């Protein structure tokens, strides 16, 4: 990863600091502020990082969030720069520490940290901004993260960041904007000097290996609430904002946002004593407990929730991290009425747009598929690509390949794709493989995803021609491919390798594995390996290393030969999921045999049509359909490709506003691996440029 130390900005040896009383691993929110006076207009330039996360305010206005997700060896800081008017100014930083990420706790899996801390450096006018000089710190006793077993009654565990519990009797809403805030404010204690990536020479003083943020800040835009589903006379929507009052008593207010989305919550009002359970869900639930996309339905404790406790005063709540859902339910139990209520939402995503236009006047549903795919991608794009925003918020290589290609097509931008390539490279461990998802405190290996990461590098090069990125990451790819080659058997096949042999969620495949839980070489893995070797050989040629390129081409050829010799059943005229298992048949293996070159080129079109019509093959879910669509685009007809969009048309018909993890019942209603049609719609419309100098199967 790039991100070099800024010598001028960071010239005064910044340090990390923390509250002198609060334990560094204690879950909660800690507030830092510094008053700066300038006698005339002045410039400020500030570098910030925190453990776990921070929100930065200047005179009560939010300027940014961070740090960008990484790991301790790639720990990011952000820079902020602007102008100050003459007078006093308040620099304020709210730092969240979530519980350590044990599986059932309140901690998010994608956050990799060492405990509480804040690093600040830079200047405001003539005043230096390094901690601890001039800074004060206080514990926010009115805001706490909620363990998941209290946030909802859902059955699935949640690796996402936790919900909040707010006690407005103790919550300091204006701490970042008033000259004399409430609470006890004391001087922070120094933890140690800040260390920068590749800069320290002896034992580091602190565990955070700092580097400059490499992505833009997330973008927020006002998102109007569409409808109040359970009307109350004293509440109304005004320009998409919930306003009014609520009498004492027990009330349920159900809101429809119009579409599933990711958003920041801003909720304010006055008065009231009692509680509000502010719950979020991607769907409603009917009387049988099944998901429904349309009213009638309820939410209740099947949606995870923030918990607010009113104390009869003016109150204001802003979520620290984004929430996800189409529906919001306010479960109110009040002994005194609430007045001056204002609830508004801000859609939050990485700034990928504006998106390219796509028109299909002869089939308008395709336009809706495209728009929904773009929105699904947006909801899964924040500080990195995410599999899903409601549950995991983790960056998986298998998902990210599809997300990256779609982002290249719809926006022409490679910010998140480039970031994903480098982040996954940073996860590579001593055996040569990469972790399936990163950043993640829980280490998971899916061998297939390491190969997909190599294909991502080739994808990026054919779309953008960035030779520097290839030179940077190709050694990592070579090491990874060597790890697979060491698992070559005497019969020519690769594997099995250690790890989770996930391919797709398929009925009859335990844990999504085509090996059915047996210790056998998988046809699918071998085909991915052959493709990764073939595509990486092209990159080696571009780099000028003909010897390595030839070695990789030979590996690919040897692997395809073994697949055809051992995994193809000439009687069935189908590829088996593993050699010696004639009843193990899937559309997955046979599609990859077409796409990745095991099937002879003159026969690929007819073979593809035959397998698509074969009911004996295990079908694909939405994720793996990316590879089927790619094969049909290359070896089928335009009409055949359109026919394969049928599952997406059906999901729209059933009320989906984002594309889910899989059709029918599923955990996640917004899963970016399902946005693949956007890539193919633009490719077939001629709106995506790919270098003609390379073989490509996308």
* Tokens standing for residue 571: 């009687």
Whole-number Å distance between alpha carbons of 350 and 216: 8
Mean pLDDT of 636-654: 97
Closest CA to 349 of 403, 401, 397: 403
Whole-number Å distance between alpha carbons of 396 and 424: 9
Task: Give the pLDDT of residue 509.
Answer: 96
Centroid of chain to Cα 307: 25
- Considering only 4-8, 299-303, 459-463, 621-625, which range has the smallest mean pLDDT? 4-8
- Percentage of the chain beyond pLDDT 70 is 97
Q: Tell me whether the omega of the peptide bond preceding residue 439 falls within 30 degrees of 0, making it cis.
A: yes
The answer to whether 615 and 606 have CB atoms below 8 angstroms apart is no
* Tokens standing for residue 362: 């002869």
Task: Give the pLDDT of residue 179.
Answer: 86
Mean pLDDT of 582-603: 98
Residue 513 has pLDDT above 70, yes or no: yes
CA dihedral 638, 568, 586, 424 (to 10 degrees): -80
Task: Give the pLDDT of residue 696.
Answer: 75
The values of phi and psi at residue 281, to 5°, are: -155, 150
Q: Would you call 163 helix, strand, or coil by DSSP?
A: strand
Whole-number Å distance between alpha carbons of 393 and 284: 21
SS3 breakdown of the chain: % helix, strand, coil, rounded to 5? 25, 30, 45
Whole-number Å distance between alpha carbons of 456 and 424: 11
Question: Could you report the per-residue pLDDT of 213-253, keeping only the tens digit for each?
Answer: 999 999 999 999 999 999 999 999 999 999 999 999 999 99
Q: Which residues pair with 349 in a beta bridge?
A: 219
How would residue 148 be classed by pLDDT, with cut points 50, 70 and 90?
A: confident
Domains of the chain: 15-157+170-215 (2.60.120.260), 220-349 (2.60.120.260), 364-684 (1.50.10.10)
The values of phi and psi at residue 562, to 5°, are: -65, -40
DSSP conformational letter for 302:
G
Mean pLDDT of 553-576: 99
The answer to whether 239 and 356 have CB atoms below 8 angstroms apart is no
Task: Give the pLDDT of residue 693.
Answer: 67
The number of helices, as runs of H, and strands, as runs of E, in the chain is 14, 27
Q: Would you call 348 helix, strand, or coil by DSSP?
A: strand
Question: Could you report the per-residue pLDDT of 13-27, keeping only the tens digit for each?
Answer: 899 999 999 998 899
Mean pLDDT of 358-372: 97
Closest CA to 280 of 301, 259, 249, 311: 301
Mean pLDDT, the chain, whole residue set? 95
The values of phi and psi at residue 501, to 5°, are: -90, 50
The answer to whether 121 and 129 have CB atoms below 8 angstroms apart is yes
The values of phi and psi at residue 284, to 5°, are: -95, 175
Task: Give the pLDDT of residue 471.
Answer: 97
- Considering only 77-81, 98-102, 150-154, which range has the smallest mean pLDDT? 98-102
Whole-number Å distance between alpha carbons of 285 and 576: 41
Whole-number Å distance between alpha carbons of 385 and 416: 7
Task: Give the pLDDT of residue 135.
Answer: 98
Taking the CB of residue 432, how many other CB atoms lie within 10 A of it? 18
Task: Give the pLDDT of residue 217.
Answer: 98
The answer to whether 526 and 495 have CB atoms below 8 angstroms apart is yes
How would residue 694 be classed by pLDDT, with cut points 50, 70 and 90?
A: low
Mean pLDDT of 533-556: 98
How would residue 5 be classed by pLDDT, with cut points 50, 70 and 90?
A: low
Mean pLDDT of 60-76: 98
Residue 510 has pLDDT above 80, yes or no: yes
Closest CA to 72 of 173, 210, 268: 210
Residue 688 has pLDDT above 90, yes or no: no
Whole-number Å distance between alpha carbons of 46 and 213: 13
* Tokens standing for residue 470: 């290839």
Q: Would you call 346 helix, strand, or coil by DSSP?
A: strand
Whole-number Å distance between alpha carbons of 352 and 402: 15
Whole-number Å distance between alpha carbons of 46 and 84: 13
Residue 2 has pLDDT above 60, yes or no: no
Task: Give the pLDDT of residue 8.
Answer: 65
Beta strand residue intervals within 493-598, DSSP E:
568-569, 574-575
How would residue 156 be classed by pLDDT, with cut points 50, 70 and 90?
A: low
Task: Give the pLDDT of residue 182.
Answer: 85
Whole-number Å distance between alpha carbons of 628 and 621: 11
* Tokens standing for residue 594: 């077409």
Task: Give the pLDDT of residue 155.
Answer: 62
Task: Give the pLDDT of residue 9.
Answer: 75
Q: Structure pTM?
A: 0.96
Residue 593 has pLDDT above 60, yes or no: yes
- Considering only 131-140, 200-209, 481-490, 554-563, which range has the smallest mean pLDDT? 200-209
Task: Give the pLDDT of residue 497.
Answer: 96
Question: Could you report the per-residue pLDDT of 274-283, keeping only the tens digit for each?
Answer: 999 999 999 9
Task: Give the pLDDT of residue 692.
Answer: 65
The answer to whether 208 and 16 have CB atoms below 8 angstroms apart is yes
Pinpoint the alpha helices (H) of 307-383.
364-379
Whole-number Å distance between alpha carbons of 553 and 301: 55
Task: Give the pLDDT of residue 105.
Answer: 59
The answer to whether 315 and 270 have CB atoms below 8 angstroms apart is yes
Mean pLDDT of 569-585: 98
Closest CA to 304 of 285, 329, 321: 329
Residue 441 has pLDDT above 80, yes or no: yes
Cα dist from 457 to 275, 438, 465, 556, whole Å? 51, 16, 10, 17
Task: Give the pLDDT of residue 67.
Answer: 99
- Percentage of the chain beyond pLDDT 90 is 88
Mean pLDDT of 374-391: 98
């Amino acid at each position: 990863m790039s991100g070099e130390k800024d010598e001028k900005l960071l010239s005064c040896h910044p340090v990390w600091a923390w509250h002198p009383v609060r334990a560094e691993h204690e879950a909660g929110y800690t507030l830092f502020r510094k008053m700066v006076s300038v006698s005339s207009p002045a410039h400020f330039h500030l570098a910030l990082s925190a453990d776990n996360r921070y929100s930065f305010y200047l005179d009560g206005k939010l300027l940014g969030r961070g740090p960008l997700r990484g790991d301790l060896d790639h720990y990011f800081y952000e820079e902020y720069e602007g102008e100050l008017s003459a007078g006093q100014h308040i620099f304020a930083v709210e730092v969240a520490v979530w519980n350590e990420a044990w599986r059932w706790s309140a901690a998010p899996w994608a956050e990799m940290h060492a405990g509480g801390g804040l690093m600040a450096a830079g200047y405001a006018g003539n005043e230096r901004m390094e901690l601890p000089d001039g800074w004060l710190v206080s514990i926010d006793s009115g805001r706490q993260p909620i363990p998941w077993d209290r946030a909802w009654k859902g059955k699935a565990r949640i690796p996402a960041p936790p919900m909040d519990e707010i006690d407005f009797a103790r919550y300091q809403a204006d701490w970042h904007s008033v000259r004399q805030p409430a609470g006890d404010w004391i001087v922070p204690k120094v933890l140690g000097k800040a260390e920068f990536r590749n800069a320290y020479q002896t034992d580091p003083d602190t565990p955070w290996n700092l580097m400059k943020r490499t992505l833009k800040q997330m973008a927020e835009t006002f998102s109007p609430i569409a409808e109040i589903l359970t009307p109350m006379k004293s509440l109304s929507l005004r320009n998409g904002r919930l306003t009014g009052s609520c009498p004492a008593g027990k009330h349920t207010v159900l809101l429809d946002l119009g579409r599933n989305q990711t958003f920041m919550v801003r909720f304010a009002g006055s008065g009231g004593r009692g509680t509000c359970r502010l719950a979020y869900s991607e769907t409603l639930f009917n009387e049988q407990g099944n998901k429904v996309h349309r009213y009638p339905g309820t939410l209740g404790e099947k949606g995870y929730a923030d918990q607010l406790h009113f104390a009869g005063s003016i109150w204001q709540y802003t979520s620290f991290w984004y929430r996800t859902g189409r529906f919001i339910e306010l479960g109110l139990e009040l002994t005194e009425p609430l007045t001056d209520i204002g609830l508004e939402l801000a859609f939050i995503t990485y700034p990928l747009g504006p998106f390219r236009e796509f028109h299909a006047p002869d089939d308008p549903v395709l336009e809706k598929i495209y728009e929904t795919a773009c929105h699904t991608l947006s909801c899964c794009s924040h500080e990195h690509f995410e599999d899903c925003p409601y549950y995991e918020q983790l960056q998986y290589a298998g998902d990210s390949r599809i997300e990256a290609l779609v982002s290249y097509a719809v926006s022409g931008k490679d910010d998140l794709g480039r970031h994903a390539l480098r982040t996954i490279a940073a996860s590579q461990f001593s055996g040569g493989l990469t972790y399936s998802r990163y950043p993640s405190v829980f280490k998971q290996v899916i061998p297939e995803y390491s190969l997909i990461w190599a294909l991502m590098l080739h994808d990026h090069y054919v779309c953008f021609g960035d030779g520097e990125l290839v030179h940077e990451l190709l050694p990592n790819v070579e090491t990874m491919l060597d790890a697979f080659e060491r698992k070559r058997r005497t019969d020519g096949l690769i594997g099995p390798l250690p790890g989770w042999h996930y391919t797709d969620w398929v009925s009859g495949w335990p844990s999504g594995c085509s090996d059915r839980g047996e210790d056998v070489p998988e046809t699918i893995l071998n085909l991915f390996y052959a493709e990764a070797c073939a595509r990486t050989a092209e990159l080696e040629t571009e780099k000028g290393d003909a010897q390595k390129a030839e070695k990789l081409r030979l590996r690919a050829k040897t692997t395809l030969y073994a697949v055809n010799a051992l995994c193809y059943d000439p009687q069935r005229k189908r590829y088996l999921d593993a050699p010696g298992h004639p009843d193990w048949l899937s559309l997955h293996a046979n599609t990859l045999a077409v796409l990745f070159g095991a099937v002879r080129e003159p026969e690929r079109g007819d073979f593809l049509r035959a397998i698509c019509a074969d009911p004996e093959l295990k079908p694909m879910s939405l994720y793996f359909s990316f590879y089927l669509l790619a094969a049909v685009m290359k070896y089928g007809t335009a009409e055949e490709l359109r026919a394969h969009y049928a599952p997406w048309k059906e999901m729209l018909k059933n009320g989906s506003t984002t594309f889910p993890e899989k059709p029918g019942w599923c955990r996640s209603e917004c899963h970016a691996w399902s946005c693949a049609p956007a890539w193919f719609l633009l490719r077939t419309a001629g709106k995506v440029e790919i270098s003609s100098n390379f073989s490509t199967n996308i």
